[in-house]
Amino acid sequence: MSVVLVAYLATLALHAAFVGYVVAGTAYVLVQAVRRADDPLAATVLSRLPFMLGCGITAGVAPLLFLQLLYQRRFYTANLLMGPRWILIVPALIVGFYGLYLAKHTARRRGLVLGAALLCFAFVAYAWSEQHALMQADGAWEAMYAAGQRVYVAAEIPLRFALFAGGMAALFAAIAAWSTPLRRRLAVIALAGRAVSVAAAVALGFAPAGSAFGLGAAVAVDVLGWLLVLRRPDDARGLWLATGGGVATLVAAVIVRELPRMALVEPEGPLSAGAGGAVVFVVAVAIGVAAVGWVIRTVRGAAPEEPA
């Protein structure tokens, strides 16, 4: 496995954790807003959503760069075929981002605003699945181009959407459960999410033979952890197991997701082969880490004191 492929998988997993929190978290707060429930968990989640979306988008940039290196010709062809339809994800993200800020700072029309934001995020998630499917469907490219078609339709796309939506619910639950006593409710959300994911994965044939066992084992640990949380929400062991199972499921799913496409990885081009740059890369990483450390220190120093 090349370094680029490993870096791609690792950063994609990080991206998935953040956007999972955002999409499922927005849905959770939306439901509570519509019910007009006075829910402390919804308040905590809402206060974190804009920050988590910022993290999710930023964490999407790294796999995007690696993806272009791995599947250059296919990635760009699919992008060009979808054209303006693809670029629509940018305004959708902007609307979603501002929707979250608006919902966080005013209760007026919160349900409407969150509903609109959720639609934007669902559109972006669907667009990524569409792009993922189209870049592998080279048999469809010519006809799509000739017809001037901008939308790629395939049965696998809604199934991928369902699979990832279920996974997002479980990821949200695993992250949110560490800052609330309302864990039983999150266990139900996680288990329902896993059920949807597993059904969609089976319908899709997501895990090729040989890899299904690893992914299945990780899901089993995750489900066991959540069942323990359901029984004893205050026992940290269940939560640790659910979180460990969740991380293992995420890593396994990201790898399994890539397997059918790996044969399509393009060989290094003559320009990049032996181009070097390792020293510049290490220096850039050091500067980046130092800058992030400085930002964290500055923000901590400026934070208002916690009330006694």
Q: Least distance from C-beta 249 to ligand HEM, angstroms?
A: 15
Binding residues with ligand HEM: total (CB under 6 A): 22
Residue 12 or 103 having the CB closest to ligand HEM:
12
Residues in contact with ligand HEM, shown as a per-residue x/- string from 47 to 66 under the rule CB under 6 A: ---------xx--xx-xx--
Site for ligand HEM in 131-160 (CB under 6 A): 132, 160
Q: What is the DSSP secondary-structure string of the chain?
A: --HHHHHHHHHHHHHHHHHHHHHHHHHHHHHHHHTT---HHHHHHHHHHHHHHHHHHHHHHHHHHHHHHHSHHHHHHHHHHHTHHHHTHHHHHHHHHHHHHHHHH--TTHHHHHHHHHHHHHHHHHHHHHHHHHHH-HHHHHHHHHHT------THHHHHHHHHHHHHHHHHHHHHGGG-S-HHHHHHHHHHHHHHHHHHHHHHT-S-TTTHHHHHHHHHHHHHHHHHHHH-TT-HHHHHHHHHHHHHHHHHHHHHHHGGGGGGPPPPPTTTTT---HHHHHHHHHHHHHHHHHHHHHHHHHSPPPP-
Q: Which stretch binds ligand HEM (CB under 6 A): 124-132, 183-191, 210-218, 264-272?
A: 124-132
Q: Which of 30, 42, 45, 67 binds ligand HEM (CB under 6 A)?
A: 67
Residue with nearest beta carbon to ligand HEM: 60
Decide: is 86 part of the binding site for ligand HEM (CB under 6 A).
Answer: no
Q: Which of 28, 128, 206, 226 binds ligand HEM (CB under 6 A)?
A: 128
Decide: is 121 part of the binding site for ligand HEM (CB under 6 A).
Answer: yes
Decide: is 124 part of the binding site for ligand HEM (CB under 6 A).
Answer: yes
Residue 17 or 242 having the CB closest to ligand HEM:
17
Decide: is 46 part of the binding site for ligand HEM (CB under 6 A).
Answer: no
Residues of this chain that bind ligand HEM (CB under 6 A): 12, 15, 19, 22-23, 56-57, 60-61, 63-64, 67, 93, 121, 124-125, 128-129, 132, 160, 164, 257
